[in-house]
Amino acid sequence: MKKILVPVKRVPDYETKIKVKPDGSGIQTDGIKWIVNPFDEIAVEEAVRLKEKLGEVEITVVSIGPSDSTEQIRTGLAMGADKGVLVLSEAEIDSDTAARTLEQVFKKEQFDLVLMGKQAIDSDANQTGQLLAASLGLPQATFASKLNVADDWSTAEVTREVDGGLETLKVSLPAVVTTDLRLNEPRYPSLPGIVKAKKKPLEEISISELGVDLTSKVKILKVAPPADRKAGIIVDSVDQLVDKLKNEAKVL
């Protein structure tokens, strides 16, 4: 049995208008719809496809955060993952503490592959996968748009979306692979999938049990909305538009 670990993060829906609290201490979370980080959803989908193709695969979905993160784990289970682990933490988790937590989760069970999103769409740091690979001494292949695991699971060939083109790497397994948009289109959980997910095992552990040092290396001092962009003018013809671009904006 081969084992895949898929970390999923609970994040605000990308269709949600994010508002900053007036005192700049964080964002307003009232009324926000929470989803699985879209890049992590792609990771779950890829793991399920590997299982469908290669069989004999067990997929563990792990989330770190408050108990509400159970919802995101259940989504992963409904998509086809086999079991869930919730690492309970009320404390703010950043890329570094997330990587250190995942390191402990990995070490408890040993996995053949870690598949995770290239970044979370809330903090946008794009660090956790690489930090995890470095701390576990595993090879990494980030920004994957194609993944081929060898039949014997000794290596994987990964095509990466990089500036200026597509790069293909071969990495030894276990490895940490982070997903980019083009890798796949995640399925919607089916109704039977959702029903089954409720019966799949979901283990809860507290972050302190894992012995993770939660000292953060990054302190957010204040947050603010971006500078407002003033609405411009409505032109009434193509001619006027071309004229404005040439003579006012001077971009032509």
Residues 230-249 that bind another protein (CB under 8 A): 231-239, 241-242, 244-245, 249
What residues from 2 to 31 belong to the interface with another protein (CB under 8 A)? 12, 14-18, 20, 27
CA dihedral 205, 117, 73, 151 (to 10 degrees): -90
CB 16 within 8 A of CB 23: no
User: What CA–CA distances, in Å, run from 207 to 86, 91, 129, 212?
Assistant: 9, 9, 19, 7
Kindly state whether residue 140 participates in binding another protein, applying the rule CB under 8 A: yes
Q: Which is nearer to another protein, 1 or 215 (CB)?
A: 215
Q: Among candidates 101, 241, 115, 94, which has minimal Cα distance to 173?
A: 115
CB of 144 to another protein, least distance (A): 12
Question: Which member of 30, 152, 163, 213 binds another protein (CB under 8 A)?
Answer: 163
DSSP 68-110: GGHHHHHHHHHHT--EEEEEE--S---HHHHHHHHHHHHHHH-
Cα–Cα distance for residue pair 143/9, rounded to 1 Å: 17
- Tell me the longest C-alpha to C-alpha distance in the chain: 68
CB of 202 to another protein, least distance (A): 27
Kindly state whether residue 214 participates in binding another protein, applying the rule CB under 8 A: no
Part of the chain binding another protein (CB under 8 A), chosen from 83-91, 168-176, 186-194, 202-210? 168-176
Q: Which is nearer to another protein, 1 or 252 (CB)?
A: 252
Binding pattern to another protein, positions 38-57, x when CB under 8 A? xx------------------
Size of the site for another protein (CB under 8 A): 78
Whose tokens are 């898929």? That residue is 6
Q: Which two tokens stand for residue 119?
A: 């970044």
CB of 186 to another protein, least distance (A): 12
The helix (H) or strand (E) run that includes residue 177 is strand 175-179
Binding pattern to another protein, positions 62-101, x when CB under 8 A? ---------------------------------xx--x--
Kindly state whether residue 147 participates in binding another protein, applying the rule CB under 8 A: no
Q: Among candidates 132, 137, 134, 139, which has minimal Cα distance to 154?
A: 139
CB of 103 to another protein, least distance (A): 10
Kindly state whether residue 170 participates in binding another protein, applying the rule CB under 8 A: yes
CB 100 within 8 A of CB 135: yes
